[in-house]
Structure 1
Amino acid sequence: MTSRQNIYSKSILTKRINLPIKSINRKLDETLKKKIVETCEGKCVSEGYIKTDSYKFISKSCGVIQGNTININVVFECEICLPVEGMIFSCIIKNKTKAGIRAEIDEDPSPVIIFIARDHHNNNQTFIKANEGDTINVSVIGQRYELNDKYISVIGEIKSGEITQPKLSIN
């Protein structure tokens, strides 16, 4: 199991940004970046979850004036997380209850919250032995998110295999 997994893919997106005319000045690129960062990064958009601090400006349109605002199309590159069925995550168990397990990717903030139902794991020894803090491999069964969510909810299934216990350090 690798220590760093790449759950993101680079994408080029186009977003329409509406700005008041008074904000058009020499620092337009900074204003556009600030607007995109506050409306898109660390949130779910129609394409998936956009990773924080992954914005990279590519280009912008001239802009169209409509009343007191100007509409500018901004093209930018970013990293997007969109889990698909069959994708395998290495994740840390955060909570185990009678209903199942809630786990997260070892990243802050975690772009996905993984729910593993007890009903899908009858007599599965890996599921039974798993405890909070352990690292497990999970296969995606399905995912769900809405616009502006802070994470993608994933229903997963434990892949049979080893459980990695957290390492204790004594200082």
Structure 2
Amino acid sequence: MSDNRSAHCEKDVPQAGKLYLYMNSILSTKVSIHITEVGQTTQQNLEEALIERVSKKCMEEGYIRPKSIRIQTYSAGTVRADNIDFHVVYHCQVANPVEGQVLEATVKTITKAGIHSQCIDPDGNIPITIFIARDHHPHSQEFQNIKEGDQIFACVIGTRYELNDPYICVIAKLIPTKYSSKFQNRRIRIKGGEMDNDPQTV
């Protein structure tokens, strides 16, 4: 990754904003179900087919959070052999970190190359794994003192994922402790386990 990206992280870290993992999103796609599944339970059957296809995986928009998918509307069906195709609009929560975003993570392993950590949501899902390169912190005693199981904050430098991947891979820089306190009380939670009206959530 370029030095400009690293400088961007260092520049933005002190200006703490809301800390979030998922964002509420409205997406659309085509869903097919067997002709025998069309009837009084059409929406339920469409939702089950949609969940099986996109939940806990990376789609084009990012990682789709399990148990967050709710169909809002669906079109009239189009017959295709023994199946019926529907255009479905659905509400879900998506993780897709961007450059400069701050993430909280749990340190999983530490190697000569660097720190491997995970973003774990309240349900135990791991939508994001983070690698923090030792080469980016050549003179950091704080980096040297980190242990497995520690909670850390990191600034995103870059991301990578492909369709149907089980998580998003992130390259990041460690945020020093002197800045971490700015993010401690800025986590956004979902009350009662349901999605709220804020477009940014856990």
**Fold shared by both chains (TM-score > 0.5):** yes
TM-score (norm 1): 0.89
CA distance in 1, matches of 2:157, 2:20: 19
CA distance in 1, matches of 2:71, 2:31: 13
Query: Deviation of residue 5 (structure 1)?
Result: 4.6
Is the counterpart of residue 118 in structure 1 residue 128 in structure 2?
no
Alignment of 1:4-19 (within 5 A): 5-19=19-33
Partner of 2:10: none
Partner of 1:152: 168
Query: Deviation of residue 114 (structure 1)?
Result: 0.3
TM-score (norm 2): 0.76
Decide which structure has greater strand share. Answer: 1
**Contact 1:126 1:158 survives alignment (8 Å):** no
Q: Secondary structure at the match of 2:51?
A: helix
Query: Deviation of residue 96 (structure 1)?
Result: 0.4
**Contact 2:19 2:102 survives alignment (8 Å):** no
**Contact 2:20 2:103 survives alignment (8 Å):** no
Query: Deviation of residue 71 (structure 1)?
Result: 0.8
Which of the numbers 59, 62, 67 marks the counterpart of 1:48? Answer: 62
Give the % identical residues: 36
Instruction: Spell out structure 1 runs of 4+ moving beyond 4 A.
Output: none
5+ unaligned residues in a row in structure 1: which ranges? 165-171
Query: Deviation of residue 106 (structure 1)?
Result: 3.3
User: Number of aligned pairs?
Assistant: 161
Letter in 2 for 1:25: G
Decide which structure has greater helix share. Answer: 2
Is the counterpart of residue 33 in structure 1 residue 47 in structure 2?
yes
Partner of 2:91: 77
